[in-house]
A and B are shown apart, each in its own frame.
Chain A
Amino acid sequence: MSEELVTIIVALISVIGGAGFWNWMQKKSELSHKGQAEEAKERNEFRETLKIQVDRLAEQVNDLVREKEQLLREMSELRADLASAQTTIKYLEETLRNR
């Protein structure tokens, strides 16, 4: 084999090998980048879901607080009614006893 041919073959092998290695590196980088992007997207989706759930829970808590206040109001009205009824009963008892 002539010297020239050896030179050309050696140069070609090193260039093709180098370019192939670069292609592999490039593919690997792109895949890893794609993977990271997907992971970030999934993380964002998860965060969005959590946010929706937290908003829903906050709404539920507000509803419960409103209901509790309503119940307390009704309870105090009932207490007042009861107190007035007790007073009436006592008055009637007194009246009956004095007769």
Chain B
Amino acid sequence: MMTKLSKTIDAVWYAAGPAQYLMYGVWAIVISGMFHLDGHLQLLSTAWKFLGFSIFVVTIWGTLRQKMLLILTSTILALAIGALYTSHAVMFGDADHIRAATQSHYMAVFVMVVWGYYLANLCARQSLEFKKAGINE
């Protein structure tokens, strides 16, 4: 039982296939639409959505470093949007909306931040492995 668990953890830890990055891009596009920020803050959500598209494109045609930087930017942006949403939530919707949606919004930000850090770290580790093996990315 433990062997299967550790095998699964290993498989997840080293899952460097493009599917994960593409999924992350898609989710960034989808989740960015959930955050109705006010006024010029809405630009942050738009930037996040744009980053989702960019991750999608860079996964297919870009380098490892570009992918890592975009994922990292998207992660930090998600963190900032989450923090702004938390501090301004009362301004964006009525009480019912806040009660119903706040938890989902927090969960979405949490997932995107943790997932983003994990993927960026995966890129960094891959980059170190390439460097060690003397391979150009």
A25 interface neighbour in B80, B121, B128, Cβ under 8 Å: B121
**Is there a chain B Cβ closer than 8 Å to A11's Cβ?**
yes
B79 interface neighbour in A18, A25, A26, A33, Cβ under 8 Å: A18
Instruction: Choose among A15, A18, A19, A26 the residue with the greatest number of B CB atoms under 10 Å from its CB.
Output: A18
Query: Do the beta carbons of B76 and A19 come within 8 Å of each other?
Result: yes
Query: Do the beta carbons of A11 and B80 come within 8 Å of each other?
Result: yes
Nearest CB in chain A to that of B122: its residue: A29
Query: Do the beta carbons of A15 and B125 come within 8 Å of each other?
Result: no
In angstroms, Cα B80 to Cα A17, docked, is 10
Q: Which residues of A contact B129 (CB under 8 A)?
A: 33
**Secondary structure dominating the interface of A:** helix
Q: Which residues of B contact A96 (CB under 8 A)?
A: none
In angstroms, Cα B128 to Cα A37, docked, is 11
Query: Do the beta carbons of A21 and B124 come within 8 Å of each other?
Result: no
In B100-137, which residues have CB < 8 Å from any A CB? 113, 117, 120-121, 124-125, 128-129, 132
In A13-49, which residues have CB < 8 Å from any B CB? 13-15, 17-19, 21-22, 25-26, 29-30, 33, 37
Query: Do the beta carbons of B80 and A22 come within 8 Å of each other?
Result: no
**Is there a chain A Cβ closer than 8 Å to B82's Cβ?**
yes
**Is there a chain A Cβ closer than 8 Å to B7's Cβ?**
no
B87 interface neighbour in A10, A15, A25, Cβ under 8 Å: A10
| Chain A proximity mask over B64-104: 1 for CB below 8 Å, otherwise 0 | 00000000100110011011100110000000000000000
A18 interface neighbour in B75, B84, B125, B132, Cβ under 8 Å: B75
Q: Footprint of A on B, CB under 8 Å?
A: 41, 72, 75-76, 79-80, 82-84, 87-88, 113, 117, 120-121, 124-125, 128-129, 132
- Can you name 7 A-B residue pairings with CB atoms under 8 Å? A7-B41, A10-B80, A10-B87, A11-B80, A15-B80, A26-B121, A33-B132
